[in-house]
C-alpha cells in the first residue's frame, strides 16, 4: 500500500514542480541513435518551435526556444539548440504565434521501405502566462509535408505544463520524436476579496440578494505543489541539468545540509524529509557546482521541502 501512495505522490510532484522535467513517449521507428535536446534547463526556458530540414520526411530537427521573463510576463530571448539528423531535404521551420509556447504536437510517420521515420510535426501552442480563466490554444504550421493517409500520434504535456525540449533518435533522418515538458507560467489574477464580516446587531435584517446578480466565481487555480521533488536536478554551468549530489560540499555536509540548500533554491525554508539514491554515477554538488563522476556518487531519490 505504501508503494502505491509513494507512486501517486511522486507523479504529483513531477506534475506540479516548476523545474522537474518529464517527457512524453516518442513516436516513430526503432532505428537511429538516441538524443535529448532540452531548452538549456531552468524553469523559465520553453520550446516555441522547431527548425531543420524536411523533404518526404524530416531529415533533421532542432528546437527553437525562448526564455520567459516572470517580471514582464513575456517571452524574451529566442535561441536554438543542437540539430539532430542528416543533411538532406530543404530548410524548414515552424513556430508558435507570438506569446505562445509548445503545449503538444501531432507527429506523423512514414514507412520508408521498412524503416519507420518521422514524416511531419504540427505544433500545438499555448499562450503564457496561462490565464486565470483557463489556457488558450492554437495550432502552428506543419513542419514537413502532411499526408492524408493514416493518422498522426498526438503528444501533449500535462495540465499546467508546456514543452521544454525534444528527445528521440536520429541518423541520416529523424527516426522517432518525443516531447519534454515542465511547469508552465500562470497568472492567478486578482484575488477574490473575502466577504465583509456580518454586523453584530442581530436585530438588523439582511436584504435578500438580487436574483439577477451572478455569484462571484473564483479564478481557476493550478494544483498546489506538495513541495516534493523526485530525483531532483539542478542547473549546471553549460545550461543543462544534473542530478543533485547527496553532499553539499565534496565529501562533507551530506544529507540534510544538501537537501536544505536545494529546498531554499525552490523558495522553501528547508527540507522536511529526504531519501538517498545510492551509486547514481554522475551528480552535481550544490555548494560548488563540481561534477562527481565516480560510480559511487550518491544522489537523492526524493526530497520533501517544508511548505
* H helical segments located in the chain: 2-16, 256-265
70: in domain: yes
Q: Which of 16-30, 102-116, 119-133, 271-285 has the lowest mean pLDDT?
A: 16-30
Of 151, 183, 215, the position where a domain reaches its end is: 183
Domain that holds residue 267: 228-305
215: in domain: no
| Cell representation of residue 207 | 436584504
217: in domain: no
Q: Which of 161-165, 188-192, 209-213, 299-303 has the lowest mean pLDDT?
A: 209-213
Residue 7: band (very low, low, confident or very high) from pLDDT cuts 50, 70, 90: very low
Is residue 159 within 8 A of residue 186, CB to CB? The reply is no
Q: Based on the domain organization, do 179 and 236 belong to the same domain?
A: no
Could you tell me which residues come within 8 angstroms of residue 162 by beta carbon, excluding any fewer than 6 positions away? 46, 47, 101, 102, 103, 126, 128, 181, 182, 183, 184
| Cell representation of residue 268 | 522553501
- Whether residue 49 is predicted with pLDDT greater than 90 in this model: the reply is yes
208: in domain: no
Q: What is the pLDDT of residue 145?
A: 86
Q: What is the pLDDT of residue 230?
A: 80
- Whether residue 68 is predicted with pLDDT greater than 60 in this model: the reply is yes
- Whether residue 163 is predicted with pLDDT greater than 60 in this model: the reply is yes
Q: Based on the domain organization, do 48 and 167 belong to the same domain?
A: yes
Residue 3: band (very low, low, confident or very high) from pLDDT cuts 50, 70, 90: very low
Q: What is the pLDDT of residue 260?
A: 93
Q: Based on the domain organization, do 33 and 178 belong to the same domain?
A: yes
Q: What is the pLDDT of residue 43?
A: 80
Residue 226: band (very low, low, confident or very high) from pLDDT cuts 50, 70, 90: low
- Report which of 206, 153, 150, 144 is spatially closest to residue 178, judged by C-alpha positions: 153
Is residue 101 within 8 A of residue 135, CB to CB? The reply is no
pTM over 0.85: no
Mean of the pLDDT values across residues 80-88? Answer: 94
Could you tell me which residues come within 8 angstroms of residue 214 by beta carbon, excluding any fewer than 6 positions away? none
Q: Based on the domain organization, do 43 and 150 belong to the same domain?
A: yes
Q: Based on the domain organization, do 169 and 66 belong to the same domain?
A: yes
206: in domain: no
Q: Based on the domain organization, do 98 and 43 belong to the same domain?
A: yes
What digits encode the pLDDT tens for the residues 168-209? Answer: 999 999 999 999 999 888 876 544 444 555 555 444 444 544
Of 150, 183, 216, the position where a domain reaches its end is: 183
3-state SS assignment for residue 234: strand
Q: Based on the domain organization, do 113 and 250 belong to the same domain?
A: no
CATH number at residue 80: 2.100.10.30
Report the C-alpha gap between 103 and 126 in whole angstroms.
6
How far apart are the two ends of the chain, measured CA to CA in Å? 25
4: in domain: no
- Report which of 62, 42, 64, 44 is spatially closest to residue 54, judged by C-alpha positions: 62
Q: Based on the domain organization, do 26 and 109 belong to the same domain?
A: yes
Evaluate the CA torsion angle 262, 267, 271, 275 in order and state its sign. Answer: negative
Q: What is the pLDDT of residue 4?
A: 35
Mean of the pLDDT values across residues 79-91? Answer: 93
Count structural domains, the chain.
2
Is residue 129 within 8 A of residue 82, CB to CB? The reply is no
Q: What is the pLDDT of residue 84?
A: 96
In degrees and rounded to multiples of 5, residue 108 shows phi and psi of -95, 150
Q: Based on the domain organization, do 165 and 234 belong to the same domain?
A: no
Q: What is the pLDDT of residue 8?
A: 35
30: in domain: yes
- Whether residue 216 is predicted with pLDDT greater than 70 in this model: the reply is no
Q: What is the pLDDT of residue 25?
A: 94
Evaluate the CA torsion angle 111, 112, 116, 120 in order and state its sign. Answer: negative
- Whether residue 130 is predicted with pLDDT greater than 90 in this model: the reply is no
Q: Based on the domain organization, do 173 and 60 belong to the same domain?
A: yes
207: in domain: no
Amino acid at each position: 500500500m505504501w508503494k502505491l501512495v509513494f507512486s501517486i505522490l511522486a507523479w504529483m510532484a513531477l506534475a506540479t514542480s516548476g523545474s522537474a522535467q518529464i517527457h512524453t513517449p516518442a513516436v516513430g521507428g526503432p532505428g537511429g541513435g538516441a538524443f535529448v535536446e532540452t531548452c538549456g534547463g531552468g524553469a523559465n526556458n520553453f520550446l516555441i518551435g522547431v527548425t531543420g530540414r524536411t523533404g518526404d520526411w524530416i531529415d533533421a530537427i532542432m528546437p527553437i526556444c525562448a526564455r520567459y521573463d516572470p517580471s514582464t510576463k513575456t517571452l524574451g530571448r529566442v535561441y536554438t539548440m543542437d540539430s539532430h539528423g542528416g543533411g538532406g531535404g530543404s530548410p524548414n521551420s515552424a513556430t508558435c504565434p507570438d506569446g505562445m509556447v509548445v503545449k503538444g504536437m501531432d507527429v506523423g510517420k512514414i514507412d520508408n521501405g521498412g524503416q519507420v521515420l518521422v514524416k511531419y510535426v504540427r505544433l500545438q501552442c499555448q499562450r503564457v502566462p496561462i490565464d486565470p480563466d483557463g489556457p488558450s490554444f492554437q495550432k502552428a504550421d506543419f513542419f514537413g509535408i502532411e499526408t492524408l493517409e493514416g493518422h498522426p500520434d498526438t503528444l501533449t504535456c500535462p495540465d499546467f505544463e508546456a514543452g521544454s525540449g525534444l528527445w528521440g533518435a536520429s541518423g541520416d533522418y529523424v527516426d522517432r520524436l518525443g516531447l519534454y515538458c515542465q511547469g508552465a507560467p500562470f497568472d492567478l489574477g486578482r484575488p477574490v476579496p473575502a466577504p465583509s464580516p456580518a454586523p453584530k446587531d442581530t436585530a438588523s435584517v439582511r436584504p435578500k440578494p438580487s436574483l439577477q446578480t451572478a455569484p462571484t466565481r473564483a479564478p481557476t487555480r493550478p494544483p498546489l505543489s506538495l513541495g516534493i521533488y523526485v530525483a531532483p536536478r539542478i542547473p549546471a554551468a553549460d545550461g543543462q541539468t544534473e542530478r543533485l549530489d547527496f553532499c553539499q560540499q565534496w565529501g562533507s555536509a551530506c544529507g540534510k545540509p544538501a537537501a536544505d540548500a536545494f529546498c531554499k533554491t525552490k523558495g522553501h525554508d528547508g527540507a522536511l524529509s529526504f531519501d538517498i539514491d545510492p551509486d547514481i554515477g554522475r551528480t552535481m554538488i550544490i555548494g560548488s557546482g563540481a561534477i562527481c563522476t565516480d560510480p559511487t556518487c550518491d544522489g537523492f531519490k526524493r526530497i520533501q521541502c517544508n511548505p
